[in-house]
Structure formats: C-alpha cells, structure tokens
C-alpha cells in the first residue's frame, strides 16, 4: 500500500483530503501542530523509519491581514517550513504536491493562465511566491518529483468564518442581522468547491508533474454571491456596500484551467450554486 504524508492535515483542505485518500485505499498520515512544527527540521525524524511515496504540503499561514501584523511568522512557516518539507522529500525520494496560492496580482489578461507574470502585494503572497519558486528550484536541481497547484478561491462546508462565503452566509442566516453589509459589491472572483480542489490534489499523486491553476474558469461578483445565498436559503434582506475600496483591489479574475484539464484530466464538477447549497446544508 502506498503511503501519503499530508501536512496541515487538520485544516479546511487537509480534513477533506484525508477523507478522500482513505476512501481511495491509501494509507495516509497527517502532520499538524499536534504532531510537530514544520519549521523545526527535527519534526520529520518521526517519519524516518517509514517509506512515503508522496507528500502533500498544505500547512501554512493564510490570513492576509495577519501577514502585515507578523510578517516574520509567515516567512518562517510558509517559506522555511516548505524548505524543510522539500528536504524531507529530497532525502526520502518521495514526490511532492505543493499547494501554492493565487500569485498573479492584478491580471494583465483573462483568463489568468500559468504563464501570467507572478507578483506579490503582501507578506502572505510574497512568502507563498518564494516557496513556490523554491519548489521549482528543487524540481530542476535535485530532480524531486514536484507538482505545484495554484488554487483560486476555494470554498465549502467547514471553511473558517473569516472567509467571504461563510461570512456572507452567516449574515444572511442570522436573524439578528437586519442588513447584509460588505466592503464592495463589485469584485468578481473564481470560486472552486472543496471537493473539486481535493480531486485535483488527488490526481497529482500519479499525474504529470507541473504547475497548474485550479479554478472554475468563471468569475462571480460579491453581489451575485449575496443574491445566490438569499435565493437558496429563502431569506431576503437588504444589502449594501460600505463604499470602501481595498488597496490594489482586483475587480475581475478567473483561472485558465486548460493545462490541468489536459495533463491531469481534471474538470470542476460542482457549479457555484450547487456548492453554495452544500454550504447551507447542515
């Protein structure tokens, strides 16, 4: 039986991924803070007597506002933690799937494909960009079998409350909230449902190594998101924007997903409305 190590196994994506791996008959072991800190290279010594076929690296800090408050923690975990994972893979011969991030900044063209220039506007995205680049260096120079996935906006049941979809669902569903208020109704994003993202990750275990975007290939505005949640929940409330535009706001983006479709045979299966319905189901 092929053994898989999943870092960040107790997170939103990690929990769903472990369930899929076990369902598919893999022996999967998780590594989260309860088992060890990836910024400490010695935490991988606990696996020295085990033979792992593949590592899926999800662990990291993700909340952008916190990256401005404590940038050092983001570089330490997202970059140096990834170096320690890469070293484990290099020594053990395991393949690696690295879950990167949206790294393209304000789009120069749409859809955004993997050839689009990469940029960073905050310590979070900069730490992920450096880690992404380091993975490419190991693939070229140490011949480590590495696939990099760059998900756009993942969502689904169990997502932390500070993300926009659970935040809007909470405002719509809470009878104490009379009006749904957001920063801006205009921005459009590409949302990929958690089951589809997990399927993309799963396909990298035996698939062709490379760098792949993971998205739906379509964009949805904040206003449409609010309207769809109200439609599916049967709850109608007034909604408005505060009229505060974020610095470096991107008003439309969606992924070019032709490469992952061709190389891994992956296709998003969950429509945005279907995904939201699952988020609303207890």
* 141-195 residue pLDDT tens: 999 999 999 999 999 999 999 999 999 999 999 999 999 999 999 999 999 999 9
CA 64 to chain centre: 13
Full residue range of the structural domain in which residue 34 is found: 3-152+194-215+256-268
Within a domain: 43: yes
Alpha helices, DSSP H only, in the chain? Answer: 12-23, 64-69, 71-74, 81-92, 123-141, 164-173, 194-204, 222-233, 258-264, 272-280
Band the pLDDT of 1: cuts 50, 70, 90. low
The answer to whether residue 110 sits within a structural domain is: yes
- Look at residue 175 and tell me if it is in a domain: no
Concatenate the DSSP letters of all residues of 37-63 into one string: -TTSGGGGGGGTTS--SEEEE--S---
176 domain-assigned: no
pLDDT digits (tens, 9 = 90+) for 227-256: 999 999 999 999 999 987 777 789 999 999
- pLDDT tens per residue across span 98-118: 999 999 999 999 999 999 999
Inside any domain, residue 245? no
Residue 184 belongs to some domain of the structure: no
In a domain, 94, yes or no: yes
β-pair partners for 112: 255
**What percentage of the chain exceeds 70 in pLDDT?**
100
Domain count, the chain: 1
Across 43-70, average pLDDT: 95
pLDDT tens readout for residues 118-142? 999 899 999 999 999 999 999 999 9
Contact 98, 131 (CB under 8 A): yes
Instruction: Give how far the C-alpha of residue 178 lies from the chain's centroid of Cα atoms, to the nearest Å.
Output: 32
pLDDT score, position 60: 96
What CATH code is carried by the domain that includes residue 45?
3.40.50.720
Q: Are 4 and 28 in contact (CB under 8 A)?
A: yes
Task: Confirm whether 280 is domain-assigned.
Answer: no
């Amino acid at each position: 039986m092929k053994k898989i190590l999943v870092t960040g196994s107790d997170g939103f994506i990690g929990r769903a991924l472990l369930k899929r791996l076990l369902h598919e008959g893999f022996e999967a072991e998780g590594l989260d803070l309860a088992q060890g800190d990836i910024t400490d290279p010695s935490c991988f010594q606990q696996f020295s007597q085990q033979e792992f076929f593949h590592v899926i690296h999800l662990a990291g800090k993700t909340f952008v506002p916190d990256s401005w408050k404590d940038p050092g923690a983001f570089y330490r975990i997202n970059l140096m933690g990834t170096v320690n994972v890469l070293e484990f893979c290099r020594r053990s011969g395991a393949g690696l799937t690295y879950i990167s991030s949206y790294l393209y900044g304000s789009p120069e063209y749409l859809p955004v494909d993997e050839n689009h220039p990469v940029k960073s506007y905050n310590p979070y995205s900069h730490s992920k960009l450096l880690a992404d680049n380091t993975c490419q260096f190991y693939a070229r120079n140490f011949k480590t079998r590495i696939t990099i996935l760059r998900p756009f906006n993942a969502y689904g049941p169990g997502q932390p409350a500070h993300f926009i979809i659970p935040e809007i669902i909470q405002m719509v569903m809470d009878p104490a909230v009379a009006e749904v208020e957001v920063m801006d109704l205009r921005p459009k994003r590409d949302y990929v449902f958690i089951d589809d993202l997990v399927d993309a990750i799963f396909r990298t275990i035996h698939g062709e190594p490379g760098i792949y975007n993971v998205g739906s290939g379509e964009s949805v505005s904040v206003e449409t998101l609010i309207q769809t949640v109200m439609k599916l929940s049967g709850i109608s409330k007034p909604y408005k924007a505060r009229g505060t535009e974020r610095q470096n706001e991107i008003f439309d983006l969606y992924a070019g997903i032709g490469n992952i479709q061709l190389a891994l045979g992956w296709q998003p299966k969950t429509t945005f409305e279907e995904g939201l319905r699952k988020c609303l189901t207890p």
